[in-house]
A and B are shown apart, each in its own frame.
Chain A
Amino acid sequence: MKNQEKKWISACVTVHRQKVRGGIPIFYADDDQEMKSIASLLADVVNGVPHDLGNGVYIVVQH
Protein backbone atom coordinates (compact mmCIF):
# COMPACT_ATOMS: atom_id res chain seq x y z
CA MET A 1 0.00 0.00 0.00
CA LYS A 2 2.70 2.41 1.04
CA ASN A 3 4.10 3.15 -2.38
CA GLN A 4 0.90 2.57 -4.27
CA GLU A 5 0.66 6.24 -5.15
CA LYS A 6 3.97 7.55 -6.44
CA LYS A 7 3.89 11.32 -6.61
CA TRP A 8 6.46 13.89 -7.47
CA ILE A 9 6.56 17.62 -8.06
CA SER A 10 7.48 18.24 -11.67
CA ALA A 11 7.43 22.05 -11.64
CA CYS A 12 6.75 25.06 -9.53
CA VAL A 13 5.11 28.36 -10.59
CA THR A 14 5.25 31.43 -8.37
CA VAL A 15 4.88 35.19 -8.21
CA HIS A 16 7.28 35.42 -5.25
CA ARG A 17 10.89 34.98 -6.36
CA GLN A 18 12.18 34.68 -2.82
CA LYS A 19 9.84 31.87 -1.79
CA VAL A 20 11.01 29.05 -4.04
CA ARG A 21 14.51 27.69 -4.59
CA GLY A 22 15.95 24.28 -5.32
CA GLY A 23 16.37 21.49 -7.80
CA ILE A 24 13.04 21.55 -9.60
CA PRO A 25 12.04 23.64 -12.60
CA ILE A 26 10.76 26.99 -11.30
CA PHE A 27 8.72 29.42 -13.41
CA TYR A 28 8.34 33.02 -12.29
CA ALA A 29 5.17 34.90 -13.16
CA ASP A 30 4.41 38.60 -12.88
CA ASP A 31 0.87 38.23 -11.58
CA ASP A 32 -1.79 35.74 -10.51
CA GLN A 33 -3.29 35.53 -13.99
CA GLU A 34 0.04 34.60 -15.59
CA MET A 35 0.73 32.09 -12.80
CA LYS A 36 -2.56 30.33 -13.49
CA SER A 37 -2.02 30.19 -17.24
CA ILE A 38 1.56 28.87 -16.90
CA ALA A 39 0.41 26.26 -14.37
CA SER A 40 -2.41 25.23 -16.67
CA LEU A 41 -0.13 24.85 -19.68
CA LEU A 42 2.51 22.98 -17.70
CA ALA A 43 -0.11 20.63 -16.27
CA ASP A 44 -1.38 19.87 -19.77
CA VAL A 45 2.12 19.28 -21.11
CA VAL A 46 3.38 16.99 -18.34
CA ASN A 47 -0.01 15.40 -17.51
CA GLY A 48 0.10 16.68 -13.96
CA VAL A 49 -2.29 18.40 -11.59
CA PRO A 50 -1.67 21.99 -10.43
CA HIS A 51 -2.06 22.47 -6.67
CA ASP A 52 -2.35 25.79 -4.86
CA LEU A 53 -0.13 26.10 -1.78
CA GLY A 54 -2.07 29.21 -0.82
CA ASN A 55 0.95 31.52 -0.60
CA GLY A 56 1.27 32.53 -4.21
CA VAL A 57 3.00 29.28 -5.15
CA TYR A 58 1.53 26.63 -7.47
CA ILE A 59 3.09 23.20 -7.79
CA VAL A 60 2.43 20.79 -10.65
CA VAL A 61 2.33 17.27 -9.26
CA GLN A 62 2.47 13.96 -11.12
CA HIS A 63 -0.04 11.50 -9.65
Chain B
Amino acid sequence: MTTRQVIAIGLGVLWGLITRLSLLRVDYRAYPSYPHAYSTHLAFGFIASLMGSVAPVALAEGKFEAVSFLLLTATQFQEIRRMERDKLADLETIELVPRGANYIEGIAEVFEARNYLVMLVAALTSAAFWLGGPWGGVIAGVVLALGAHVLRRDTTIGDVAKVRLGEVRLEGPGVYVEDIFIMNVALPQLRDGISKWAIGVVLEAREDQFINVLHNVGQRQAIVHDVIHVLGNRQDVDTAAFQPMVRKDAESGRIAVYLLPMEQDSERVLQVVSQVPVLSNAKSGAGQGL
Protein backbone atom coordinates (compact mmCIF):
# COMPACT_ATOMS: atom_id res chain seq x y z
CA MET B 1 0.00 0.00 0.00
CA THR B 2 1.52 3.31 -1.04
CA THR B 3 1.30 6.61 0.83
CA ARG B 4 -0.82 8.01 -1.99
CA GLN B 5 -3.38 5.26 -1.51
CA VAL B 6 -3.45 5.81 2.26
CA ILE B 7 -4.03 9.57 1.86
CA ALA B 8 -6.75 9.04 -0.77
CA ILE B 9 -8.63 6.59 1.44
CA GLY B 10 -8.00 8.64 4.60
CA LEU B 11 -9.30 11.84 2.99
CA GLY B 12 -12.37 10.04 1.66
CA VAL B 13 -13.15 8.51 5.07
CA LEU B 14 -12.58 11.83 6.84
CA TRP B 15 -14.98 13.78 4.61
CA GLY B 16 -17.48 10.92 4.57
CA LEU B 17 -17.54 10.89 8.37
CA ILE B 18 -17.79 14.68 8.58
CA THR B 19 -20.78 14.52 6.22
CA ARG B 20 -22.47 11.78 8.29
CA LEU B 21 -21.85 13.62 11.53
CA SER B 22 -23.26 16.87 10.19
CA LEU B 23 -26.36 15.07 8.90
CA LEU B 24 -26.90 13.49 12.33
CA ARG B 25 -27.95 16.70 14.01
CA VAL B 26 -30.62 16.20 16.65
CA ASP B 27 -33.49 18.32 15.44
CA TYR B 28 -36.86 19.21 16.93
CA ARG B 29 -38.13 15.72 16.24
CA ALA B 30 -35.47 14.57 18.70
CA TYR B 31 -34.59 11.49 16.76
CA PRO B 32 -32.16 9.81 17.19
CA SER B 33 -31.47 11.31 20.57
CA TYR B 34 -29.61 8.55 22.32
CA PRO B 35 -25.85 7.89 22.40
CA HIS B 36 -26.33 4.34 21.17
CA ALA B 37 -28.22 5.48 18.12
CA TYR B 38 -25.37 7.90 17.45
CA SER B 39 -22.74 5.20 17.65
CA THR B 40 -24.73 2.84 15.40
CA HIS B 41 -25.14 5.46 12.72
CA LEU B 42 -21.56 6.72 12.98
CA ALA B 43 -20.29 3.14 12.67
CA PHE B 44 -22.38 2.60 9.56
CA GLY B 45 -21.20 5.99 8.29
CA PHE B 46 -17.61 4.91 8.79
CA ILE B 47 -18.17 1.67 6.88
CA ALA B 48 -19.94 3.59 4.10
CA SER B 49 -17.14 6.12 3.75
CA LEU B 50 -14.45 3.43 3.89
CA MET B 51 -16.14 1.43 1.14
CA GLY B 52 -16.72 4.57 -0.89
CA SER B 53 -13.15 5.83 -0.65
CA VAL B 54 -11.53 2.46 -1.37
CA ALA B 55 -13.53 1.98 -4.58
CA PRO B 56 -11.84 4.63 -6.82
CA VAL B 57 -8.38 3.65 -5.57
CA ALA B 58 -9.04 -0.04 -6.29
CA LEU B 59 -10.52 0.76 -9.69
CA ALA B 60 -7.50 2.92 -10.58
CA GLU B 61 -5.27 -0.06 -9.78
CA GLY B 62 -7.38 -2.21 -12.13
CA LYS B 63 -9.05 -4.23 -9.36
CA PHE B 64 -12.58 -4.30 -10.70
CA GLU B 65 -13.89 -6.65 -8.01
CA ALA B 66 -14.28 -3.49 -5.89
CA VAL B 67 -17.62 -3.00 -7.62
CA SER B 68 -19.06 -6.19 -6.12
CA PHE B 69 -18.05 -5.01 -2.65
CA LEU B 70 -19.98 -1.80 -3.23
CA LEU B 71 -23.05 -3.88 -4.05
CA LEU B 72 -22.56 -5.86 -0.86
CA THR B 73 -22.44 -2.66 1.18
CA ALA B 74 -25.62 -1.42 -0.47
CA THR B 75 -27.50 -4.47 0.84
CA GLN B 76 -26.22 -3.70 4.33
CA PHE B 77 -27.73 -0.22 4.10
CA GLN B 78 -31.11 -1.70 3.32
CA GLU B 79 -30.67 -3.39 6.69
CA ILE B 80 -30.39 0.07 8.31
CA ARG B 81 -33.71 0.97 6.78
CA ARG B 82 -35.29 -2.17 8.21
CA MET B 83 -33.70 -1.55 11.62
CA GLU B 84 -35.12 1.98 11.84
CA ARG B 85 -38.51 0.90 10.56
CA ASP B 86 -38.81 -1.98 13.03
CA LYS B 87 -37.69 0.12 15.96
CA LEU B 88 -40.17 2.93 15.30
CA ALA B 89 -42.99 0.53 14.42
CA ASP B 90 -42.47 -1.25 17.76
CA LEU B 91 -42.78 2.06 19.60
CA GLU B 92 -46.03 2.91 17.80
CA THR B 93 -48.12 0.62 19.96
CA ILE B 94 -47.54 2.73 23.08
CA GLU B 95 -47.79 6.16 21.44
CA LEU B 96 -50.95 8.14 22.24
CA VAL B 97 -50.42 9.96 18.96
CA PRO B 98 -48.64 7.52 16.64
CA ARG B 99 -46.31 8.65 13.88
CA GLY B 100 -48.12 6.59 11.27
CA ALA B 101 -46.64 4.13 8.77
CA ASN B 102 -45.89 6.80 6.15
CA TYR B 103 -43.79 8.88 8.52
CA ILE B 104 -41.88 5.84 9.74
CA GLU B 105 -41.14 4.74 6.19
CA GLY B 106 -40.00 8.28 5.40
CA ILE B 107 -37.60 8.36 8.36
CA ALA B 108 -36.23 4.91 7.53
CA GLU B 109 -35.75 5.94 3.91
CA VAL B 110 -33.79 9.03 4.94
CA PHE B 111 -31.45 6.96 7.12
CA GLU B 112 -30.71 4.62 4.22
CA ALA B 113 -30.30 7.46 1.72
CA ARG B 114 -27.88 9.35 3.97
CA ASN B 115 -25.50 6.41 3.95
CA TYR B 116 -25.50 6.35 0.15
CA LEU B 117 -24.83 10.07 0.25
CA VAL B 118 -21.87 9.51 2.60
CA MET B 119 -20.54 6.76 0.33
CA LEU B 120 -20.78 9.08 -2.67
CA VAL B 121 -19.00 11.93 -0.87
CA ALA B 122 -16.18 9.59 0.21
CA ALA B 123 -15.81 8.04 -3.28
CA LEU B 124 -15.74 11.38 -5.10
CA THR B 125 -13.34 12.92 -2.55
CA SER B 126 -10.89 10.08 -2.87
CA ALA B 127 -11.23 10.09 -6.69
CA ALA B 128 -10.63 13.87 -6.69
CA PHE B 129 -7.43 13.37 -4.65
CA TRP B 130 -6.31 10.60 -6.98
CA LEU B 131 -6.81 12.74 -10.08
CA GLY B 132 -6.32 16.29 -8.80
CA GLY B 133 -3.82 16.03 -5.94
CA PRO B 134 -4.20 17.06 -2.29
CA TRP B 135 -6.01 20.33 -2.99
CA GLY B 136 -8.38 18.60 -5.38
CA GLY B 137 -9.30 16.18 -2.58
CA VAL B 138 -9.84 18.86 0.05
CA ILE B 139 -11.86 21.16 -2.21
CA ALA B 140 -14.02 18.26 -3.46
CA GLY B 141 -14.64 17.21 0.18
CA VAL B 142 -15.81 20.69 1.23
CA VAL B 143 -18.02 21.17 -1.84
CA LEU B 144 -19.61 17.72 -1.54
CA ALA B 145 -20.25 17.98 2.20
CA LEU B 146 -21.99 21.32 1.63
CA GLY B 147 -23.89 19.81 -1.31
CA ALA B 148 -25.12 16.99 0.94
CA HIS B 149 -26.56 19.65 3.25
CA VAL B 150 -28.49 21.23 0.40
CA LEU B 151 -29.90 17.81 -0.56
CA ARG B 152 -30.88 17.23 3.05
CA ARG B 153 -33.41 20.05 3.20
CA ASP B 154 -36.97 18.75 3.11
CA THR B 155 -39.97 20.45 1.61
CA THR B 156 -42.19 21.47 4.53
CA ILE B 157 -45.92 21.97 5.03
CA GLY B 158 -45.31 25.73 5.10
CA ASP B 159 -44.02 25.47 1.50
CA VAL B 160 -47.12 23.71 0.18
CA ALA B 161 -49.89 25.21 2.32
CA LYS B 162 -51.04 28.44 3.89
CA VAL B 163 -51.08 27.76 7.64
CA ARG B 164 -53.35 29.91 9.82
CA LEU B 165 -55.26 29.69 13.09
CA GLY B 166 -58.89 28.58 12.99
CA GLU B 167 -61.44 29.32 15.70
CA VAL B 168 -62.59 26.26 17.69
CA ARG B 169 -66.38 26.45 18.08
CA LEU B 170 -68.77 24.39 20.20
CA GLU B 171 -72.26 24.05 18.80
CA GLY B 172 -74.43 21.84 20.99
CA PRO B 173 -72.45 18.61 21.34
CA GLY B 174 -70.54 19.30 18.08
CA VAL B 175 -66.95 20.56 18.00
CA TYR B 176 -65.94 22.55 14.92
CA VAL B 177 -62.82 24.28 13.65
CA GLU B 178 -64.33 27.19 11.71
CA ASP B 179 -67.06 25.34 9.78
CA ILE B 180 -65.31 21.95 9.64
CA PHE B 181 -66.87 19.31 11.88
CA ILE B 182 -64.39 17.55 14.15
CA MET B 183 -66.42 15.38 16.52
CA ASN B 184 -69.36 15.09 18.89
CA VAL B 185 -68.63 15.48 22.61
CA ALA B 186 -71.56 15.05 24.99
CA LEU B 187 -70.29 15.90 28.46
CA PRO B 188 -70.09 19.49 29.73
CA GLN B 189 -66.82 18.92 31.61
CA LEU B 190 -65.10 17.70 28.44
CA ARG B 191 -66.56 20.59 26.47
CA ASP B 192 -65.21 23.00 29.11
CA GLY B 193 -61.75 21.52 28.67
CA ILE B 194 -62.03 21.84 24.91
CA SER B 195 -63.15 25.47 25.03
CA LYS B 196 -60.30 26.26 27.40
CA TRP B 197 -57.42 24.43 25.74
CA ALA B 198 -58.22 23.50 22.14
CA ILE B 199 -56.33 25.20 19.33
CA GLY B 200 -57.47 24.93 15.73
CA VAL B 201 -55.27 25.30 12.66
CA VAL B 202 -56.53 25.52 9.09
CA LEU B 203 -54.38 24.47 6.14
CA GLU B 204 -55.09 25.59 2.61
CA ALA B 205 -53.02 24.28 -0.31
CA ARG B 206 -51.01 27.02 -2.01
CA GLU B 207 -51.59 25.39 -5.40
CA ASP B 208 -54.05 22.74 -6.57
CA GLN B 209 -51.28 20.19 -7.06
CA PHE B 210 -50.49 20.26 -3.34
CA ILE B 211 -54.01 19.34 -2.23
CA ASN B 212 -53.14 15.63 -2.42
CA VAL B 213 -50.26 16.14 -0.01
CA LEU B 214 -52.57 17.64 2.61
CA HIS B 215 -55.24 15.00 2.05
CA ASN B 216 -52.79 12.13 2.53
CA VAL B 217 -53.80 10.45 5.79
CA GLY B 218 -50.20 9.59 6.69
CA GLN B 219 -49.18 13.20 6.17
CA ARG B 220 -52.00 14.40 8.41
CA GLN B 221 -50.95 11.95 11.12
CA ALA B 222 -47.37 13.21 10.83
CA ILE B 223 -48.59 16.78 11.40
CA VAL B 224 -50.40 15.99 14.67
CA HIS B 225 -47.58 13.73 15.83
CA ASP B 226 -44.97 16.45 15.36
CA VAL B 227 -46.99 19.20 17.04
CA ILE B 228 -47.86 17.02 20.02
CA HIS B 229 -44.29 15.75 20.22
CA VAL B 230 -42.98 19.30 20.50
CA LEU B 231 -45.71 21.05 22.50
CA GLY B 232 -47.11 18.24 24.67
CA ASN B 233 -50.58 16.74 24.86
CA ARG B 234 -53.47 17.25 27.31
CA GLN B 235 -54.83 13.83 26.39
CA ASP B 236 -54.26 10.96 28.76
CA VAL B 237 -54.83 7.25 28.19
CA ASP B 238 -58.41 7.66 29.45
CA THR B 239 -59.41 10.96 27.83
CA ALA B 240 -59.96 10.05 24.22
CA ALA B 241 -62.01 13.23 23.69
CA PHE B 242 -58.79 15.26 23.89
CA GLN B 243 -57.16 13.29 21.11
CA PRO B 244 -55.76 15.53 18.37
CA MET B 245 -57.57 15.16 15.06
CA VAL B 246 -57.27 16.27 11.47
CA ARG B 247 -60.39 16.55 9.33
CA LYS B 248 -60.95 17.83 5.84
CA ASP B 249 -63.68 19.93 4.35
CA ALA B 250 -65.00 17.98 1.38
CA GLU B 251 -66.18 21.12 -0.38
CA SER B 252 -63.15 23.39 -0.28
CA GLY B 253 -60.44 20.80 0.40
CA ARG B 254 -59.22 22.71 3.46
CA ILE B 255 -57.73 20.74 6.33
CA ALA B 256 -58.58 21.45 9.97
CA VAL B 257 -56.16 20.42 12.70
CA TYR B 258 -57.66 20.20 16.18
CA LEU B 259 -55.40 19.70 19.18
CA LEU B 260 -55.00 20.38 22.88
CA PRO B 261 -51.30 21.03 23.44
CA MET B 262 -49.83 21.43 26.93
CA GLU B 263 -48.02 24.53 25.80
CA GLN B 264 -50.83 26.95 25.06
CA ASP B 265 -48.94 29.00 22.46
CA SER B 266 -50.80 29.27 19.18
CA GLU B 267 -47.88 30.99 17.43
CA ARG B 268 -45.63 28.05 18.19
CA VAL B 269 -48.29 25.62 16.99
CA LEU B 270 -48.36 27.45 13.64
CA GLN B 271 -44.58 27.41 13.54
CA VAL B 272 -44.34 23.67 14.19
CA VAL B 273 -47.10 22.81 11.69
CA SER B 274 -45.29 24.86 9.04
CA GLN B 275 -42.07 22.97 9.68
CA VAL B 276 -43.48 19.44 9.42
CA PRO B 277 -41.71 17.75 6.51
CA VAL B 278 -43.73 16.77 3.45
CA LEU B 279 -43.46 12.98 3.38
CA SER B 280 -42.03 11.54 0.19
CA ASN B 281 -44.87 9.04 -0.11
CA ALA B 282 -47.45 11.81 0.26
CA LYS B 283 -45.94 13.55 -2.75
CA SER B 284 -46.85 10.82 -5.20
CA GLY B 285 -49.51 12.10 -7.52
CA ALA B 286 -48.93 15.65 -6.30
CA GLY B 287 -47.44 16.60 -9.66
CA GLN B 288 -44.47 18.83 -10.37
CA GLY B 289 -42.80 21.37 -8.18
CA LEU B 290 -41.83 19.44 -5.07
Contacts and interface: CB of A to CB of B under 8 A. Distances in A.
A51 B185 CA distance: 5
A15 B26 CA distance: 55
B261 to A, nearest CB: 19
Interface in A24-63: 36, 39-40, 43-44, 47-52, 54, 58, 62-63
A18 interface: no
B189 A40 contact: yes
A13 B183 CA distance: 19
A4 interface: yes
Contact of B240 (A1, A49, A52): A49
A47 B238 contact: yes
Q: Give the most central of B183, B184, B243: most A CB within 10 Å.
A: B184
Interface residues on A, range: 10 to 19
A40 B187 contact: yes
A53 B184 CA distance: 9
B184 A52 contact: yes
A55 B185 CA distance: 14
A26 B237 CA distance: 24
B37 interface: no
B287 interface: no
Contacts of B35: none
A55 to B, nearest CB: 12
Interface string B139-174: 000000000000000000000000000000000110
B186 A39 contact: yes
B240 A48 contact: yes
B238 A51 contact: no
A54 B187 contact: no
A51 B240 contact: no
A52 B217 contact: no
Given A1-B217, A63-B240, A63-B243, A49 B185 contact: yes
B172 A52 contact: yes
A62 B237 CA distance: 12
Contacts of A4: 217
A43 B173 contact: no
A7 to B, nearest CB: 10
Contacts of A40: 187, 189
Contacts of A51: 173, 183-186
Q: Give the most central of B183, B187, B237: most A CB within 10 Å.
A: B187
B188 interface: yes
Contacts of A63: 240, 243
B241 interface: yes
Q: Give the most central of A47, A51, A58, A63: most B CB within 10 Å.
A: A51
A1 B248 CA distance: 15
B187 A39 contact: yes
Interface of A: 1, 4, 36, 39-40, 43-44, 47-52, 54, 58, 62-63
24 contacts: A1-B217, A4-B217, A36-B186, A36-B187, A36-B188, A39-B187, A40-B189, A43-B187, A44-B238, A47-B240, A48-B240, A49-B183, A49-B241, A50-B185, A50-B187, A51-B173, A51-B183, A52-B173, A52-B184, A52-B186, A54-B173, A58-B186, A63-B240, A63-B243
